[in-house]
C-alpha cells in the first residue's frame, strides 16, 4: 500500500469535482491499485487549508463535499500562498485545477516549475503552462525525475496522449485529427440540424455546455491549445500558438455551408497535425468531413480523435464525459498511472 498526498491548486468546478471523486474512489483505489489517495492541502487565491493527512483527510473530504466553504474550516489559513505550500513536508503531487491562461500560462506556470523543482509530480487540467512553456516544463521534470500528467489538459476523459504514447507504441503517427472541444461540436451539430448560431450557443449555455464567455471555445483557441499540446508531447516539438492557423465557428463561410448542403458531409471544427513530404503543419480548421471519416458520427458535446499511423492504420477514440467530473476522472487516472508505473 502506497499513500499519495496531494496538494490541490484551485477550488472551482473541477477542483470540487476532484475532491468529490477522490472521496468516492478511496476504497476502489485502495483495493484495486493499493493506493491510498489523500488530499493534504487545498490552495486557492485567498489562502490554504492544510490537513493532518492520516487523521482528518476523510472527514475533511466529506465535509467539503457536503457544501462547506473552504474558508469556514477551522484549519483555514488566510493568505497562505504557494511559497508556503512548498515548505510543507509529506506532499507528493500537485494537482492543478486553476483556470487556463493560454497567453501567459500564469500563475500556474510559475507554480508548475517550482513544484517540479521541489520534486513533486504534477498532474494538470490547466492548458496554459503546457501551451506557453512545455519545453521548459519537460526539462525541469526530466532533471528532477518527476512525472507530468497531462490528460486533464488534453480532452480530459477522452484518452488522447495515453493512446498515442502507450497503445500506439512502435507505430509512427503521421496525421492527427481531433474534435477536441465539446462546446463547438454541440453548436455545429445543432446548426447542421438547421438552428442559427446564436440560438445554438444560447442553448449550449443554458445546458451548461458552453461558458458564459464562450470565446476561448467558439474562436477555436481551446481546440488549438489541445492539438498543440498533443503534438508537442508526442513529437517532442516546440510549437507555440503562433505556429498554428486558428479558425473558430462564429463565422462559417457561406461557400462551406453551400458545399455541405445536401452533400451528406458534416462541418466539424478539426484540430489537425499533418506530417508529409512537405513538412509538418498544425491547424484548427472548419472542415467538411465525409460519412466514411471515423469522426463523422461524433455529434453533440462528444469529442473524438483519430491517429493515422504507418503500421496500425488509423485508430479512433471517441466519447468521454465532457464536464468537471470527467476532468476529475482524467486527473485521477494520471495519478494512478504515475504511482502504479
Q: Which range binds its own copies by CB under 8 A, 73-81, 108-116, 277-285, 317-325? A: 317-325
Q: Which range binds its own copies by CB under 8 A, 73-81, 109-117, 243-251, 332-340? A: 332-340
Active site residue 25: no
The 3-state DSSP class for residue 268 equals strand
Lookup: cell for 73 = 474550516
Nearest to 266 by CA among 248, 250, 287: 287
The 3-state DSSP class for residue 29 equals helix
d(CA 64, CA 16): 8
Q: Residue 65, interface with its own copies (CB under 8 A)?
A: no
Of 97 and 224, which has the nearer Cβ to its own copies? Answer: 97
Of 6 and 132, which has the nearer Cβ to its own copies? Answer: 6
Of 267 and 317, which has the nearer Cβ to its own copies? Answer: 317
Q: What's the closest the beta carbon of residue 185 comes to its own copies, in angstroms?
A: 15
Helix axes 182-192, 221-235, angle to 10 degrees: 130
Q: Which range binds its own copies by CB under 8 A, 94-102, 179-187, 253-261, 293-301? A: 293-301
Q: What's the closest the beta carbon of residue 169 comes to its own copies, in angstroms?
A: 4
Q: Which range binds its own copies by CB under 8 A, 126-134, 154-162, 199-207, 273-281? A: 154-162
Of 136 and 294, which has the nearer Cβ to its own copies? Answer: 294
**Torsion 112-114-118-119 (CA) sign:** positive
Pairing between β-strand 93-96 and β-strand 121-124 as defined by DSSP bridges: parallel
- Neighbouring-strand partners of residue 96: 9, 124
The 3-state DSSP class for residue 245 equals strand
Q: Residue 255, interface with its own copies (CB under 8 A)?
A: no
Find the binding residues for its own copies in span 85-104 (CB under 8 A). Answer: none
| Residue matched to cell numbers 453548436 | 187
Lookup: cell for 298 = 461524433
Lookup: cell for 264 = 451528406
Residues that bind its own copies (CB under 8 A): 21, 25, 28-29, 33, 157-159, 162-163, 166-172, 294, 296-297, 306, 311-321, 325-326, 328-330, 332-333, 335-337, 340-341
Annotated catalytic residues are 226
Amino acid at each position: 500500500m502506497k499513500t499519495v498526498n496531494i496538494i490541490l491548486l484551485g477550488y472551482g468546478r473541477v477542483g470540487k469535482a476532484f475532491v468529490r471523486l477522490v472521496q468516492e474512489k478511496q476504497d476502489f483505489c485502495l483495493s484495486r491499485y493499493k493506493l491510498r489517495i489523500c488530499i493534504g492541502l487545498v490552495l486557492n487565491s485567498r489562502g490554504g487549508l492544510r490537513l493532518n493527512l492520516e487523521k482528518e483527510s476523510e472527514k475533511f473530504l466529506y465535509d467539503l463535499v457536503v457544501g462547506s466553504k473552504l474558508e469556514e474550516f477551522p484549519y483555514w489559513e488566510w493568505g497562505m500562498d504557494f511559497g508556503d505550500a512548498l515548505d510543507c513536508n509529506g506532499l507528493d503531487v500537485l494537482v492543478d485545477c486553476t483556470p487556463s491562461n493560454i497567453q501567459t500560462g500564469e500563475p500556474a506556470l510559475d507554480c508548475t516549475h517550482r513544484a517540479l523543482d521541489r520534486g513533486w509530480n504534477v498532474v494538470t487540467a490547466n492548458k496554459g503552462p503546457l501551451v506557453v512553456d512545455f519545453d521548459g516544463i519537460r526539462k525541469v521534470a526530466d532533471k528532477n525525475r518527476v512525472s507530468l500528467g497531462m490528460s486533464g489538459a488534453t480532452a480530459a476523459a477522452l484518452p488522447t496522449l495515453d493512446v498515442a504514447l502507450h497503445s500506439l507504441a512502435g507505430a509512427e503517427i503521421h496525421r492527427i485529427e481531433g474534435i477536441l472541444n465539446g462546446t463547438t461540436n454541440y453548436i455545429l451539430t445543432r446548426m447542421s440540424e438547421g438552428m442559427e448560431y446564436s440560438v445554438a450557443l444560447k442553448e449550449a449555455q443554458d445546458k451548461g455546455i458552453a461558458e458564459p464567455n464562450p470565446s476561448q471555445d467558439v474562436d477555436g483557441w481551446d481546440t488549438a491549445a489541445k492539438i498543440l499540446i498533443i503534438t508537442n508531447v508526442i513529437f517532442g516539438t516546440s510549437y507555440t500558438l503562433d505556429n498554428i492557423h486558428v479558425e473558430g465557428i462564429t463565422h462559417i463561410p457561406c461557400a462551406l455551408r453551400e458545399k455541405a448542403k445536401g452533400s451528406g458531409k458534416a462541418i466539424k471544427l478539426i484540430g489537425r497535425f499533418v506530417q508529409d513530404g512537405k513538412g509538418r503543419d498544425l491547424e484548427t480548421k472548419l472542415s467538411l468531413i465525409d460519412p466514411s471519416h471515423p469522426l463523422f458520427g461524433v455529434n453533440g458535446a462528444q469529442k473524438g480523435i483519430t491517429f493515422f499511423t504507418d503500421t496500425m492504420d488509423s485508430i479512433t477514440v471517441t466519447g468521454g464525459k465532457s464536464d468537471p467530473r470527467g476532468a476529475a476522472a482524467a486527473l485521477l487516472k494520471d495519478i494512478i498511472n504515475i504511482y502504479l508505473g
